[in-house]
Amino acid sequence: MTESLMETKPVKDLLMKVSALGADGGDVRLKRIVHRVVSDLFRTIEEFDVQPDEFWSAMAYLTRVGQANEIGLLVPGLGLETFLDMRLDQAEQQAGLEGGTPRTIEGPLWLEGAPLSVGEARLDDGSEQGEVLFMQGQVRDLNGKPVAGAVVDVWHANTKGGYSGFDPSQPKYNLRRRIQTDAEGRYVFRSILPSGYACPPDGPTQQLLDVLGRHGHRPAHIHFFVVAPGYRKLTTQINIDGDEYLHDDFAFATRDGLIPSVKRVSDAASIHEKGLNAPYAEIDFDFVLHAETAAAPKTVVERAHAPA
Ligand code: MBD
Ligand code: FE
């Protein structure tokens, strides 16, 4: 066996100089993180005997991920976004926060500034012949008290799995709304049932998934931010029950408690009452928020988003 270069003084000295850990100035926490990350890369290269052509193919890969604007897609695909959620869950548990609607990842496709209305909204513009969905519920706190004036920011894909703002075929803010809860903490919206999302087939994220022998599908889902003064921001999604990828999400976002039953309504009287001419779907889902507390890390996450 050749000796481990990692354990030699020249490599240890190199890592200290790279991170400037031994020098004055700079951000000490960042220096320590850079030292750790670069050390771990060195170690990986050594342990797997990574050859220069392999290394440069990885650098070219990362370049393509950035150029294709797929960082936000690779991150959930590698479970990193779910890991951040697991850490928030753990911190809340340690702070004694229990119950409430489970969080799950935001994903890369939220846009700021969706139209705001009170109590109710229609998310689709009628241009797509999807199955009509009515979704409704109440925002409450852990004591069951309704939260009036909460804002439910909802966004989802169309019947082809595309999101407005990213899929140029859709009008601005299609399938995106902010709904302020009424005096009883209630919200209701009309939309169409989304289809699942699939990673761009020719993109770098799918390229890695292919090499791993994984698929790039998400089950059909609807995203939410729920915010109210004095409460912890909730970032979550519901999944549409029955989807073939329900428990096989490439982004690892499916959770117990986030799979409400989808009621199919097909009686003529109900259809007529809704002004429709075909059966429709109904979902009831309540959001339960935690009161804000200094005992757990904040849930408002600073994150760069695509310009709306
Ligand atoms: C999505 O719609 C999504 O929610 C995630 C997490 C990743 C890619 C597309
Ligand atoms: Fe999504």
Across 198-204, average pLDDT: 98
The reply to whether ligand 1 has any atom less than 6 angstroms from the CB of 73 is yes
- The domain locations on the chain are 5-50, 73-289
DSSP string, 139-166: EEETTS-B-TT-EEEEEE--TTS--TTT
d(CA 176, CA 67): 26
Q: How far is the CA of 70 from the centre of ligand 2 (A)?
A: 14
pLDDT level of residue 58 (50, 70, 90 thresholds): very high
Q: How far is the CA of 238 from the centre of ligand 2 (A)?
A: 10
Cα-Cα-Cα-Cα dihedral sign, residues 305, 62, 167, 157: negative
Across 180-194, average pLDDT: 98
What's the whole-number average pLDDT of the chain? Answer: 97
Residue nearest to atom 3 of ligand 1 (CA): 107
DSSP string, 49-104: T--HHHHHHHHHHHHHHHHTT-HHHHHHHTTHHHHHHHHHHHHHHHTT---SPPP-
Q: Could you report the per-residue pLDDT of 83-134, keeping only the tens digit for each?
A: 999 999 999 999 999 999 999 999 999 999 999 999 999 999 999 999 999 9
Across 271-285, average pLDDT: 97
What percentage of the chain reaches a pLDDT higher than 70?
Answer: 100
The reply to whether ligand 1 has any atom less than 6 angstroms from the CB of 218 is yes
Would you identify the CATH topology of the domain 73-289?
A: Protocatechuate 3,4-Dioxygenase, subunit A (2.60.130)
In the block, which residue shows the tokens 């804000």? Answer: 292
pLDDT for 308 beyond 90: no
Closest atom of ligand 1 to 199 CA is 8
Return the ligand number nearest the Cα of 217.
1
Q: How far is the CA of 83 from the centre of ligand 2 (A)?
A: 17
Which residues lie at CB < 5 A from ion ligand 2?
A: 107
Spatial neighbors of 280 by CB under 8 A, at least 6 apart, are: 131, 132, 133, 134, 264, 265, 271, 274
pLDDT for 287 beyond 80: yes
pLDDT for 1 beyond 70: no
In the block, which residue shows the tokens 């909460």? Answer: 150
The reply to whether ligand 1 has any atom less than 6 angstroms from the CB of 103 is no
